Amino acid sequence: MSAIEPTDTLISVDDLKVHFPRGRAGWGKPAEVVKAVDGVSFSIRRGTTLALVGESGSGKTTTALAVMRLSPITAGRMQLGDTDLGALQGEALRQARTRMQIIFQDPFSSLNPRERAGAAVRAPLDLMKVGTPAERTQRVAELFEAVGLRPEQQHLFPHQFSGGQRQRINIARALATQPELVVCDEPVSALDIAIRAQILNLLARLQRELGLTYLFISHDMAVVEHICDDIAVMYLGQIVERAPRKSFFARPLHPYSVALMSAVPTVSGGRQRAAGRIKLTGDPPSPINPPAGCRFAGRCPVVEPACIAELPPLREAAPGHWVRCRRVEIVDGVPVPPLQMRTA
């Protein structure tokens, strides 16, 4: 799948690889390499949200950090508008950071406990020398209002806020430089259930009002369904399925995606409730020595010998719906998944 799409594309990632050397496994043996991200391609249209989902260790957070240039890139190309992100160094990279910001997962550890909330939000403006001191002060006040915090709370320290309020501070800080792309690295996973909806609604409102583009990292399919426009499922460093939200949640195609969806709790009146969760056996292969064939083959309930022999390509099974599975068949123009969710 090519990552280059029409001109409304903000970010394009093409064949991204992030490999980490580990040193030698033993005397006389070659150095080991962890293939955390191994050939990932995607693009995000301006003003939309792409969700990267998968279990821990799938490579989704490493992909996001590489896009932010916070992780070393082994190979591949990343384009932000007309800017080649992979080629930027020094001051050019520093200036490009005004266009892309990140909201981290843990609202407790991502704030300096000795820095007041207003100073934390102002820090990017001071570092990037954005505007005059008076304009920075005004900008901080506007950001506190935009995320639902009171002006006087600028003078408080992080320990004086709840978890949800701290994440609002992190969101305000991420928006300080008026970025085009915001990476959300599981921004609600550390919050109480009741607070999650508030933060998700805040992110959705800010996207509408400011025209933001989100790369949203999550393992929670219910959260993803609420906020994303497109979804990409990762497994062991590769994208195994990519589709628009409605198409994916109506009919996931890859066996791994079907297993993920079977674990989503539902209520009557909503999507048809799963009668039984599809339980996967075994553990994912090592990213140091991934298998030559389909990387999910060792855990797949519908695996065939050909799946083990050769890595299937990411192919378009339906308009905009891509899947890396040789067992997905097209019947009367409709893709049919090899593994079906059991429904009540």
Q: pLDDT tens string for the chain (344 positions)?
A: 434 344 599 999 999 999 998 876 666 677 789 999 999 999 999 999 999 999 888 999 999 999 999 999 999 999 999 999 999 999 999 889 999 999 998 888 899 999 999 999 999 999 988 889 999 999 999 999 999 999 999 999 999 999 999 999 999 999 999 999 999 999 998 888 889 999 999 999 999 999 999 999 998 888 899 899 999 999 999 999 999 999 999 999 999 999 998 877 654 444 444 446 788 888 888 999 899 999 999 999 999 999 999 999 999 999 999 999 999 999 998 999 998 876 54
Q: What is the pLDDT of residue 262?
A: 84
Residue 61's contacts (CB-CB under 8 Å, 6 or more residues apart) are: 185, 186, 217
- Residue 103 near residue 185, CB atoms below 8 Å: yes
Residue 248's contacts (CB-CB under 8 Å, 6 or more residues apart) are: 231, 241, 257, 321
Q: What is the pLDDT of residue 342?
A: 62
Domain assignment present for 323: yes
- Domain count for the chain: 1
Domain assignment present for 26: no
Domain assignment present for 307: yes
Domain assignment present for 118: no
Domain assignment present for 338: yes
| Residue-level length of the chain | 344
Domain assignment present for 262: yes
Task: Please give the residue range of the domain that contains residue 287.
Answer: 252-344
Domain assignment present for 282: yes
- Phi, psi at residue 113, to the nearest 5°? -65, -15
Domain assignment present for 92: no
